[in-house]
Structure 1
Amino acid sequence: MRYLSTLFLLAVLVLWSSCRNDFESNPSTGNLKFSTDTLFLDTIFTNIGSSTYSFKVYNHTSDDFTIPAIALERGESSNYRLNVDGIPGKSFENIQVLAKDSIFVFVETTTDITNQTADVEFLYTDRVLFDTGGNQQDVDLVTLIKDAVFLFPSRDAMTGETETLLLGLDSENNEIRIEGFFLEDDQLNFTNEKPYVIYGYAAIPSGKTLTIDAGARIHFHANSGIIASNGATLIVNGELSTDPELLENEVIFESDRLEPGFSDIPGQWGTIWLTAGSTGHSINHTTIKNATVGVLMDSNDGGTDPTLTIKNTQIYNSSNVGLLARTGNVLGENLVINNAGQVSLNCSLGGTYNFNHCTFANYSSIGTGFRELPTVLIDNNLRVNQTDVVVADLLEANFTNSIIYGNQDLELIFSKIDGTAFNYNFKNCLIRFNDFGDQFAGNPLYDFTNTALYENIILNEEPGFKTPSENMLNIGENSAANGKASTPTSGTDILGTLRNTTAPDIGAYESTTFEE
């Protein structure tokens, strides 16, 4: 009896389902709704694939329906690629959309600018067509394609191996190599005519100079950067811009991902690496953003002049360190470093450092949002393994008219090993150092009353940055740094504003009026 009841129930279910029309639907009649009427795929470089973008197609009616045809207007020749409801292609038939439901359409593109008439950039467009005839609807697709100068390692035609650079030997005498190439003589001047896109590390040969003109744009693929080899020089000749948004004369180093979603993502490329023995570097009116380490400097050339002079420059969103100098010789002025995953400025393994009118800050939220290290770390030692520590003289570390601040209590830390020189001086600086737990009480390194080390120091007062989380380190008129720099002074701030000759401001920016 139970067996017969089960058969009867199954029969009823089969008959009931056969009467339903859930899987039958009529064609749509031009009544589709879309999440957008135009999909902008933002800017990409020629021959580099875009990110995946999407829009939704809605069925707001109470009935299921089928879209008879979905296709790119340019057809199979289109440089756009679609994925409709999980199916890749460029044309589709009979795509069902259930009542009160929707489907996704995903879009990507890769375009070759050499097939176009424009020289540097052009708009590439197409349409996604839904249905035909009088019921046809569409969504426009728009992408700005930029031409660029592409620099990359060669690939051996026989073995398929990519060109590498020898960095040295490890403890077991094995070669340490990195994917990269040496720039040729005709590549040693980067102009502002087209952006540059670099794959791997572009190395400046020994005895050569890479000169970068004002307004140049340098883009790096993942794990890429610039290396100045022993005896090589990097000269970045950025100039003051008239438009603070466009920064038309600034030199900008960033990744090759141009979409807005990547504009502030740290760690998208490697570093600008000034190796031991490289010399005479100059960086002016430059923005370095979204690197692993903004500038990495190994040793100085032993001379009295700075190995690196860096002025009117911003380093933002480094996943590790903004400026890391090991036994460096650095002169910095109107330098701004903010939002690094570890340290904004690390004067490591001794060296010689002079910073004037600089702003060092860290409001980074990379990872957990909690940093174990301060904004500025100064040390005379470097641990090379579990047992060995290398030490070097800190000949001088002079900070004048500068801000050291961030979202943690202790934003200036020293790491000193006795037996070598450890010379430093802070004058007319605003510093955040809230030692609530008296961790450093009695430590002479942090005796802010010692005028031989600290003169006219402002402790733990607000600098009044505009929006530090967004790398806007301008200060307002209510800033504690306002009018507290040493005099006499001359020149301009990082934006070209003349400094007040009688009461200049601490930091890279002269104060302005804005809502704090």
Structure 2
Amino acid sequence: MKRILYFFFVFSFLLFWSSCRQDFDFAPSTGNLEFSKDTVYLDTVFTNIGSSTYNLKVYNRSDNDISIPSIGLERGTASNYRLNVDGNAGQTFNNVEIQAKDSLFIFVETTIDIQNQTLLENEFLYTDKINFDAGSNLQSVDLVTLVKDAVFIYPDRDNTTGVIETLTITVDGQPVETEIQGRELLPSELSFTNQRPYVIYGYAAVPSGETLTIDAGARVHFHANSGLLVSDNASLQVNGSLSTDPELMENEVIFESDRLEPAFADVPGQWGSIWLFENSINNTINHATIKNGTVGILIDGNADTALPKLTITNSQLYNFSNYGILARNTSITAENLVVNNAGQSSVALTQGGKYNFTHSTIANYWNNSFRQFPALLVNNFFVDTNNITNVTVFTEANFNNSIIYGNDNPEFILDEVTDPAVTFNFKFTNCLVKFEDSSSSPSGDNYDFNDTTHYENIIRNQEPDFRAPFNNDLLIGNDSAANAEGNTIFSSQVPLDILGVNRTTSSDLGAYQHITF
């Protein structure tokens, strides 16, 4: 019994002593650290805009507890990089301890002012090093960031109150104050060139009676909750052109977020919208890519104008948290248009209007969450603030030589409130559509595919053979049901596809002629 008590006492003492031990012996580092990477690339940032935070992991593979005498940026306090080492922020650190077979994280971020730098085509490479120890034990990890110069457009902020300037817009010839943060573009800002990118904070408004012209190859970037607004009697002219190499898109006009890191390349909802106000006029978009916003193009009113409110050609819209195009009682002519990946509908033509889509690919392969609406939504009503349903005229909605498809069923809905006094005219001609008959599919006269008044040469529920629809690659292949199914009347109106390929001999449906993958 005494022996058992003795061993119990000794075991308890050893356990207590080891658990309370605080005096680990940390030997100086000998230059044998290992790193998760030898260079930390912080990707591309705009001047004076903070980067994302990147991490570096430092390993002590030895059997000894070690202390790193110093960790710091080679440029010291003059560096534009910032570090966080094991939870402590700064630019230099002393006696950083790592236990045996353990590691620590170093987090890196930067904000760089491009002024007084030697620029090469409006950008430069900013570099530094994280040095570990010194002398014969010195080890280093490189830091590299590409910094772009830009034209910044932002509203004023009151230095005393901190209140940000809001827009006053013209409605029916009268100024109306809004709560939209932003400002009107100055006369010197009404021409966007391809010399430098443009970064917009808040909403930049095209003043009444003015035109914003955007040259081929221009890049327009929006901060969060920002966008472009075209007001009463103003115009937007986007003059992109076909690139010599379609993969490079050097002559396209690109609208996207101001986050340039690869992690943000396909993230929806990073900015607001291009908003064409009621009574804006003569809006044209050619060879543009619009992506990663909330609503790609929001367009209001003027359904009965002689010219379309918006003419959009050879353009692509991708990755929107709500809608690619949201049209409300307006008029659109679209040719060689590609829209994909929206949290609600890729194209929503609402409250009536006048629409003509030719050789367009309207798809929705959204997989971020559940979506309520199909790729194409068409309706002829709105519910006002008094909860009264107002029925509006649908002069026409024509879809010619087009593809309407996606990863849900059905992928188009004609949501009509019937009113004998109000027309609801639509027609699908030579289109590949996804509309499978099921208990959940809508029914009624609007879905009588034998009615040649509304449907002519329709292909239902056959594969378009998109190359990679979940990655917004909607090129069609050799096995597409859309191949050689186009009506020559419409293909002669749009003789080249979105990539400049001739389609007059044998036209495929949608914006692309098929290729061999």
Name the TM-score class by shorter chain.
over 0.9
1:493 aligns with 2:501: no
Structure 2 matches for 1:196-215, cutoff 5 A?
A: 196-215=198-217
In structure 2, the residue matched to 1:122 is 124
Unaligned runs of 5+ in 2: 1-6
Q: CA deviation at 1:384?
A: 3.0
Structure-2-length-normalised TM-score: 0.93
Hey, what's the Cα distance between the residues in 1 that align with 2:272 and 2:431?
31
Contact 1:277 1:301 in 2 (8 A): no
Letter in 2 for 1:179: Q
Runs of 4+, deviation exceeding 4 Å: 5-18
Alignment-derived partner of residue 412 in structure 1: 412
Q: List aligned pairs for 1:305-454, cutoff 5 A.
A: 305-366=307-368, 368=369, 370-385=370-385, 387-419=387-419, 420-437=422-439, 439-441=441-443, 443-454=444-455
**C-alpha distance after superposition, 1:234-266 (max 9, x if no partner):** 000000012223210000000000000000000
1:506 is aligned to 2:509 = yes
**CA–CA distance in 1 between the matches of 2:441 and 2:46?**
51
Report SS of the residue matched to 2:77: helix
Quote the residue 2:24 is aligned against.
Answer: 23
Structure 1 distance, partners of 2:516, 2:23, is 64
Structure 1 residues 11, 158: closer, same or farther in 2, change over 3 A? same
Shift in alpha-carbon separation, 1:243–1:7, aligned structure 2, 3 A: same
**1:47 matched residue in structure 2:** 48
The 1:16/1:315 distance shift into structure 2, 3 A limit, reads closer
Is residue 473 of structure 2 the alignment partner of residue 469 of structure 1?
A: no
1:218–1:438 distance in 2 versus 1, CA, 3 Å: closer
Aligned residue in 1 for 2:71: 70
Distance 1:133 1:282, change over 3 A: same
Displacement after TM superposition at 1:306 (Å): 0.6
* Secondary structure, counterpart of 1:76 in structure 2: helix
AA partner of residue 415 (structure 2)? S
Between Structure 1 and Structure 2, how many residues are aligned?
A: 502
Shift of 1:477: 1.2
Q: Report Cα offsets for 1:44-90 as digits up to 9, x if no partner.
A: 00000000000100111122111111000000000000001111000
Pairing of 1:33-112 with structure 2 (within 5 A): 33-112=34-113
Q: Residues of 1 paired with 2:315 and 2:134: CA distance?
A: 55
Contact in 1 for aligned 2:170/2:232 (Cα 8 Å): no
CA, structure 1 residues 376+25, in 2 after alignment: closer, same or farther (shift >3 Å)? same
Cα distance in 2 for partners of 1:277, 1:87 equals 55
Q: Are residues 160 and 391 of structure 1, via their aligned partners in 2, closer, same or farther at CA, if it must alter by over 3 Å?
A: same
Whole-angstrom distance in 2 between the partners of 1:215 and 1:278 = 24
Return the letter of the residue paired with 1:83.
N
The match for 2:188 is 186
Is the 2:374–2:413 Cα contact (8 Å) retained in structure 1?
yes
CA-CA distance at 1:300 after TM superposition: 1.6
Counterparts of 1:433 and 1:318, CA distance in 2: 23
- In structure 2, the CA distance between the partners of 1:181 and 1:21, relative to structure 1 (3 Å rule), is closer
Is the contact made by 1:164 and 1:177 (CA closer than 8 Å) also made in structure 2?
yes
Separation in 1 of the partners of 2:351 and 2:204?
Answer: 26
How many angstroms does 1:25 deviate by? 1.1
3-state SS of paired residue (2:387): coil
8 A Cα contact 1:279 1:301, kept in partner:
no
1:273 corresponds, among 272, 275, 278, to 275
Aligned to 2:4: none
Which letter does structure 2 place at the counterpart of 1:177? E
Displacement of 1:435 after TM fit? 2.2
Q: CA deviation at 1:156?
A: 2.6
DSSP 3-state at the match of 1:113: coil
Give the CA deviation at 1:162: 1.2
Q: How many Å separate the matches in 2 of 1:246 and 1:259?
A: 18
Task: Classify 1:504/1:301 alpha carbon distance in 2 versus 1 (closer, same or farther; 3 Å).
Answer: closer
CA-based RMSD: 2.1
